[in-house]
C-alpha cells in the first residue's frame, strides 16, 4: 500500500486520504502573506529611492516636481498587485478537507510569484527613478524624460508579469 492511502471497510476501494492534510491551508495563508508583504516591500523601496531622486532634483528644477512623481505612483501600483492577489487567496481558503494540498501549493506559488516579481520591480523602479530624476535635474535635453518613463514602464512590466502568473496559478485552485 502506498503511503497516504487507506482501504475502506469493504477493503476493495482505495481512498487517498493524504491529499488534504490539515496543514494544506497553511500554504495558502503563506502565499497570501508573501504576496502582500513582498510586493509592499518592493513598493516601499521603489518609493523611497524615487523620493530621494525627487529631493535631489527639487532644488535645481522645482517646476518638475509634480512630473517626477510618476516613479512613486508606479511603485505604489506594485503593492496593489500583491494586495489583490493576497485578497483572492484569502477569499478562496477553506478548511482542510475541502482545500487540498495541491490548492495550497498553487496559492503559495501565486503569492510568491506576485510578491517576488513586485519586489524585483520595486528595486528596478527605485534605482532607475532615483538615477533618472537626478539626471533630469542637470539634463539640457527635455526628451530625456520620455526615455526615463519608457524604462520605468518596462520595470513595471516585471511586476505585471508576476501578477498575471499569480492569477493563472490561483485560477487552477479547486480544479484538481
Cell matching residue 89: 487567496
Residue 119 CA to residue 62 CA, distance in Å, equals 30
Structural fold of domain 24-171: 1.20.120
Residue 72 CA to residue 86 CA, distance in Å, equals 22
For residue 12, what pLDDT band results from cuts at 50, 70 and 90? very low
Dump strand ranges (E) for the chain: 5-7, 14-16
Q: Is the distance from CB of 84 to CB of 140 less than 8 angstroms?
A: no
Q: What is the DSSP secondary structure assignment for residue 14, as one 8-state letter?
A: E
pLDDT in the model for residue 17 = 52
Residue 145 CA to residue 151 CA, distance in Å, equals 10
Phi, psi angle pair for 159, to nearest 5°: -70, -35
- Boundaries of every domain in the chain: 24-171
Mean pLDDT score of the chain, rounded to an integer?
A: 87
Tell whether the model's pLDDT for residue 9 goes beyond 70. Answer: no
Phi, psi angle pair for 4, to nearest 5°: 95, -5
Output the DSSP codes for 147-168.
Answer: HHHHHHHHHHHHHHHHHHHHHH
pLDDT, one tens digit per residue, over 88-125 is 999 999 988 888 899 999 999 999 999 999 999 999 99
**Kind of pairing between the strands at 5-7 and 14-16:** antiparallel
Whole-model pTM?
0.84
Percent of the chain at pLDDT > 70 equals 88
pLDDT, one tens digit per residue, over 42-77 is 999 999 999 999 998 888 888 888 888 999 999 999
Q: Count Cβ atoms below 10 Å from residue 172 Cβ, excluding itself.
A: 14
Tell whether the model's pLDDT for residue 8 goes beyond 70. Answer: no
Amino acid at each position: 500500500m502506498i503511503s497516504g492511502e487507506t482501504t475502506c471497510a469493504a477493503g476493495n476501494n482505495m481512498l487517498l486520504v493524504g491529499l488534504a492534510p490539515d496543514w494544506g491551508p497553511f500554504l495558502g495563508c503563506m502565499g497570501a502573506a508573501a504576496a502582500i508583504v513582498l510586493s509592499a516591500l518592493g513598493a516601499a523601496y521603489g518609493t523611497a529611492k524615487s523620493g530621494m531622486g525627487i529631493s535631489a532634483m527639487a532644488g535645481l528644477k522645482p517646476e518638475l516636481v509634480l512630473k517626477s512623481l510618476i516613479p512613486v505612483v508606479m511603485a505604489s501600483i506594485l503593492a496593489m498587485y500583491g494586495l489583490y492577489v493576497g485578497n483572492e487567496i484569502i477569499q478562496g481558503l477553506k478548511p482542510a478537507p475541502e482545500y487540498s494540498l495541491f490548492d495550497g501549493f498553487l496559492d503559495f506559488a501565486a503569492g510568491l510569484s506576485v510578491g517576488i516579481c513586485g519586489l524585483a520591480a520595486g528595486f528596478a523602479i527605485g534605482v532607475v527613478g532615483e538615477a533618472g530624476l537626478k539626471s533630469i535635474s542637470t539634463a539640457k535635453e527635455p526628451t530625456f524624460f520620455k526615455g526615463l518613463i519608457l524604462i520605468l514602464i518596462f520595470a513595471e512590466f516585471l511586476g505585471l508579469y508576476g501578477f498575471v502568473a499569480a492569477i493563472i496559478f490561483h485560477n487552477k485552485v479547486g480544479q484538481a
